[in-house]
Structure 1
Amino acid sequence: MTTPPTPPGFPGMPDPNDPGQMQAFLAQLQQMFATAGTSDGPVNWTLAQQIAEQVARPTDRSLTAAERTSAADAIRLADVWIDPVTTLPSGARTTAAWTTLEWIGETLPVWKQLCDPVASRVVAATSGSLPEGMAEQLGPMRGLLDGIGGMAFGQQVGTGLGQLSAEVLTSSDIGVPLGPPGVAALLPANIDTFAEGLERSGDEVRLYVALREAAHQRLFEHVPWLRAHLLNSVDAYARGISVDREAIEDAMSSIDPEQLDPTNLESLQNSLAGGMFTPNDTPEQKAALARLETALALVEGWVTMIVEAAAGDRLPGLSALGEAFRRRRASGGPAEQTFATLVGLEMRPRKLREAAVLWKTLTEVRGVEGRDAIWGHPDLLPSSDDLDDPEAFVRGQDDDGLDGLADDLKNL
Structure 2
Amino acid sequence: MADSLVDWDLAARTASRLAGAGPQTTRAEAAAVVDELHECAGTAVAHVEGLTGLTPAAGAPTPVTAVVDRPGWVRANTGGMAALLDPLTEALQEKSGSRPGAVARAVGGRATGLQAGGVLAFVSSKVLGQYEVFGTGGRLLLVAPNIVDAERKLGVDPHDFRLWVCLHEVTHQLQFTAFPWLRTYLESQVQEFVRVSDLDPAALRERLRDVVASLSDAVRGKPLEGDAPAGLMALVGDPAQQAVLDRVTAVMSLVEGHAEFVMDGVGPDVVPSVRTLRKRFGQRRKGVGPVDRVLRRLLGLEQKMQQYADGRHFVAGVVDRVGMQAFNTVWTSPGTLPRKEELTDPQRWVDRVITPY
Residue of 10, 34, 45 corresponding to 2:8: 45
- 1:206 positional shift: 0.8
Contact persistence 1:96–1:186 (CA under 8 A): yes
Kindly indicate whether residue 227 of structure 2 is the aligned counterpart of residue 288 of structure 1: no
| Shift in CA distance, 335/158, structure 1 to aligned 2, threshold 3 Å | farther
With over 3 angstroms needed to count, the CA separation of the structure-2 counterparts of 1:55 and 1:305, relative to structure 1, is: same
The answer to whether 1:108 aligns with 2:78 is yes
Distance 1:317 1:279, change over 3 A: same
Q: What is the DSSP-based 3-state SS (H/G/I as helix, E as strand, rest coil) of the residue aligned with 2:53?
A: coil
Tell me if 1:67 matches 2:33.
Answer: yes
Question: What is the rounded CA distance, in whole Å, between the counterparts of 2:174 and 2:64 in structure 1?
Answer: 12
- Once the two structures are TM-superposed, the CA of residue 296 in structure 1 deviates from its matched residue by 2.0
**CA, structure 1 residues 271+82, in 2 after alignment: closer, same or farther (shift >3 Å)?**
closer
C-alpha deviation, 1:320, in angstroms: 3.5
Residue 164 in structure 1 maps to residue 126 in structure 2? no
TM-score by length of 1: 0.65
Of residues 274, 291, 295, the one that matches 2:213 is: 274
Specify the SS of the correspondent of 2:66. strand
Q: Secondary structure at the match of 1:315?
A: coil
Inter-partner Cα distance in structure 1 for 2:33 and 2:157: 15
Structure 2 gaps, min length 5: 215-228
User: 1:147 and 1:195, CA in 2 relative to 1: closer, same or farther beyond 3 A?
Assistant: same
Partner of 1:34: none
Equivalenced residue count is 323
Query: What is the CA RMSD across the aligned residues, in angstroms?
Result: 4.1
Deviation at 1:97? 0.9
* 1:357-368 map, 5 Å: 357-368=313-324
Q: Which amino acid is the alignment partner of residue 139 of structure 2?
A: V
State the secondary structure of the residue aligned to 1:396.
Answer: helix
Q: Is residue 225 of structure 1 aligned with residue 181 of structure 2?
A: yes
Q: Offset of 1:302 from its aligned partner?
A: 0.9
Of residues 311, 314, 319 in structure 1, which corresponds to 2:267? 311
Secondary structure, counterpart of 1:362 in structure 2: helix
Paired residue secondary structure (2:141): strand
Q: Based on CA coordinates, which of the two structures has the bigger radius of gyration?
A: 1
Structure 1 residue 194 corresponds to structure 2 residue 133: no
Deviation sequence 1:331-388 (CA, Å, 0-9, x none):
8x979948956xx997525354343233234334433332112111111011122223
Q: In percent, how many aligned pairs have the same letter? A: 23
Cα deviation for residue 280 of structure 1 reads: 5.4
When residues 224 and 282 of structure 1 are mapped into structure 2, their CA distance, relative to the original with a 3 A threshold, is same
> How far apart, CA to CA, are the structure 2 residues paired with 1:240 and 1:334?
34
Structure 1 counterpart of 2:338? 382
Residue by residue over 1:87-123, the C-alpha shift from the partner in whole angstroms, topping out at 9 and shown as x without a partner, is 3225862222111111122333211134336766999
Aligned partner (choices 161, 164, 169) of residue 213 of structure 1 = 169
Going from structure 1 to structure 2, the CA distance change for 1:330 and 1:47 (only over 3 Å counts) comes to same
Structure 1 Cα separation of the partners of residues 22 and 314 of structure 2: 40
Q: What is the match of residue 84 of structure 1?
A: 50
Q: Tell me the SS of whatever aligns to 2:270.
A: coil
Shift of 1:243: 7.9
